[in-house]
């Protein structure tokens, strides 16, 4: 959970995936992809809330 939070915050701050992998001790791309998908869903929800997508359907 902590690593996922660090990944999301790091990417939002402009961090590079390779740098984050090194700092967090990840040796494969599986974890960045996992947390990246989670962050994408979170960004979509934030966008929906901000813009109101689907509220007038």
pLDDT single digits (tens) 23-41: 888 898 888 788 778 777 8
d(Cα 3, Cα 6) in Å, to the nearest integer? Answer: 5
The number of domains in the chain is: 1
In a domain, 17, yes or no: yes
pLDDT at 8: 63
In a domain, 20, yes or no: yes
In a domain, 54, yes or no: no
Query: Quick one: average pLDDT of 7-13?
Result: 64
pLDDT at 56: 66
In a domain, 56, yes or no: no
Domain span at 15: 2-46
Its sign, for the CA torsion 36, 34, 20, 4, is positive
In a domain, 42, yes or no: yes
In a domain, 35, yes or no: yes
In a domain, 55, yes or no: no
């Amino acid at each position: 959970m902590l690593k996922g939070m660090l990944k999301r915050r790091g990417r939002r701050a402009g961090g590079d995936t390779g740098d984050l992998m090194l700092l967090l001790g990840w040796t494969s791309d599986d974890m960045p992809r996992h947390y990246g998908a989670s962050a994408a869903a979170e960004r979509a929800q934030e966008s929906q809330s901000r813009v109101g997508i689907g509220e007038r359907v």
